[in-house]
Structure 1
């Protein structure tokens, strides 16, 4: 007779309904010893202002341009943009039908979150995070209304192991003349769900445009109703929920999204929704840093309507993909089976959510500073 299935111990696959891809979950492997690569711990402190940093206020960048003496956020066109302004050249004739070329045009922007070189989202004041959110909205509207632009991708790479070339708090926006593969796949999945009259909609769950079903409205509504001990929710507030998704690939992956109503893009957020957005970004990133008492590396991206008003079926959400697995020095690699077959993880999403949920929302560096001050006074 077969054993009763236990997702915390038995290998199984989970489906990502946004991409149609599966992830193999192997929870029994969390007990194996680790003899692989480790990463050097992140530096415990940085200068508040670094005269050599090309993102600090008033400094010169590599191309000779000089930064403004900014006091909040600062935006400039990337000096080493991945795409160039349009219109793009005509596509060349192809030597074979299998060898297709598609010219792409657009623009790339850099957004400095704060003038302080030593801060991150986790250590910014909520008002400073609101400045970042407002700048995201501004860039999305400006780039999204440009002729020829079909997609605007806002993202942040944090940490050297995520390819971030400068620790100064900043993110990027790439705007393109075509919709990239991953968001195109997600938008197609959301559109199919909205168009299918058989798509499930729970009582009380928000609906999308014209009362149609919304995949992410439905998913978020389900997750916030799961008992905490069994669930994947890490933190939520009045408007937003951050959870380790059922289909997570990365060990401590986070899906962050509004759950109270269908929101297609950041430009449609109310003033109060921006405040609660800042609140949950702060709480999530603090928990990340507190997990291994380090400046937690991740890639974060905002998925929403391709451009303002373009996709009614889109539901605003953020993906956080962090590589750290067991400690501040042990990371997950997507290799072998994961490159050749499908994604795989050991720690279950429920276990990961439980660990993140149990963490303090007081940043570990603030605790260390308070302890040092107390010793000095004593």
Structure 2
């Protein structure tokens, strides 16, 4: 840290302009810059096909449906949907104390690859393009009926993912959920107050500062955001104004495949493990309104703290007060940025 930034080593708060929330930083709890303890996780051998896997090609799922013999990326309706179209709409409100309403929605599953043992980090860059194509197609189709389409991935058992076959999910709803709703309000307020797009301006400032960048190319920027809550959280966004996933052009799509590959390999290399995370896309809702205040972006929220088996827990003060972190975002970005772009499994071969 430079002298002008010594204040960062003291307890301080940082503001998240996307949500309007604050978090507490306590960097004095790690007096010396942490160099990153690495523990090689056991190399679990997973076969390319698992006859007991509900997501492998041709297998019968728990609900009784059979998967197609799909060659690449595959989408199907979730057999146990968290959202369904309501048959009997209703609304209740007792003085704001007992309030509920029905919802319409649907849920789908995306298998990224037919291979049971290959995560996005280990897929070739060219094989990530069809995944992005499917994301765009699903967003386009579901946005015709639903106001919000949430594409996300929970990777790793530690994130509640019980099936190791590489897959993501889509939940579409007739309402805008809490997190994107807060982002909608904040981005709109920033545009009205400053006359600029919040995230487009933020990305430009991050490029100037060069402190929290993890990866970049001509179309995309990946940073540990100034307000990051999770130790190795990143924000990924296009540099050009872009409202939604389906608006990406060919150059942006190729750039996204390249930077996703780079980020995910760096993640895995940090602790020599298949790095767990929850990630998801946020873009302008399908509400028929002017959404120029929006900028497409993805959030990656990994839980790991200091090694492959040490997790950051949101407990105590975080649950009752506000989020808190010890490792500065600037330090986390440097650790990720300095990781090799060659996957650690390839080095062991």
Check conservation: 1:141, 1:308, Cα contact below 8 A. Answer: no
Distance in 2 (alpha carbons) for counterparts of 1:241 and 1:4? 26
Q: Identify the residue that residue 199 of structure 2 maps to in structure 1.
A: 216
Check conservation: 1:145, 1:308, Cα contact below 8 A. Answer: no
Distance in 1 (alpha carbons) for counterparts of 2:275 and 2:258? 18
Q: Identify the residue that residue 207 of structure 1 maps to in structure 2.
A: none
TM-score (norm 1): 0.86
The offset of 1:225, in angstroms, is 1.1
- Deviating beyond 4 angstroms after TM superposition, the runs of 4 or more aligned structure 1 residues are 39-43
SS in 2 for 1:281: helix
Q: Paired residues, what number?
A: 340
Q: Identify the residue that residue 140 of structure 2 maps to in structure 1.
A: 141
SS in 2 for 1:141: helix
Q: CA-to-partner distance for each residue in 1:30-64, whole Å, 9 max, x for gaps?
A: 369xxxxxx99565331110100000000000011
Distance in 2 (alpha carbons) for counterparts of 1:45 and 1:325? 25
Q: Identify the residue that residue 346 of structure 1 maps to in structure 2.
A: 326
Distance in 2 (alpha carbons) for counterparts of 1:158 and 1:124? 15
Q: Identify the residue that residue 50 of structure 1 maps to in structure 2.
A: 50
Check conservation: 2:234, 2:299, Cα contact below 8 A. Answer: yes
Q: Identify the residue that residue 131 of structure 1 maps to in structure 2.
A: 130
The offset of 1:4, in angstroms, is 7.7
Distance in 2 (alpha carbons) for counterparts of 1:42 and 1:313? 46
Picking from 307, 310, 315, the partner of 1:327 is 307
Check conservation: 1:42, 1:295, Cα contact below 8 A. Answer: no
Q: Identify the residue that residue 166 of structure 1 maps to in structure 2.
A: 163
Picking from 258, 265, 270, the partner of 2:249 is 270
Distance in 2 (alpha carbons) for counterparts of 1:308 and 1:111? 25
RMSD: 1.9
Q: Which segments of 5 or more consecutive residues in structure 2 lack a partner in the other structure?
A: 33-38
What are the within-5 Å matches in structure 2 for residues 1-378 of structure 1? 6-30=6-30, 41=41, 44-86=44-86, 89-91=89-91, 93-146=92-145, 149-196=146-193, 199=194, 212-227=195-210, 231-259=211-239, 261-307=240-286, 310=289, 311-369=291-349
The offset of 1:97, in angstroms, is 2.9
Check conservation: 2:85, 2:103, Cα contact below 8 A. Answer: no
The offset of 1:226, in angstroms, is 1.3
Q: 1:309 to 1:95 in 2, by over 3 A?
A: closer
Q: CA-to-partner distance for each residue in 1:222-249, whole Å, 9 max, x for gaps?
A: 001114xxx0001100100100000000
The offset of 1:7, in angstroms, is 4.1
Distance in 2 (alpha carbons) for counterparts of 1:308 and 1:192? 18
TM-score (norm 2): 0.93
Q: Identify the residue that residue 35 of structure 2 maps to in structure 1.
A: none
User: Which structure has the bigger radius of gyration?
Assistant: 1
The offset of 1:139, in angstroms, is 0.6
Distance in 2 (alpha carbons) for counterparts of 1:307 and 1:167? 32
Q: Which segments of 5 or more consecutive residues in structure 1 lack a partner in the other structure?
A: 33-38, 200-211, 370-378
Distance in 2 (alpha carbons) for counterparts of 1:45 and 1:130? 27
Q: CA-to-partner distance for each residue in 1:263-290, whole Å, 9 max, x for gaps?
A: 0011111111101100000000000000
Q: 1:308 to 1:67 in 2, by over 3 A?
A: farther
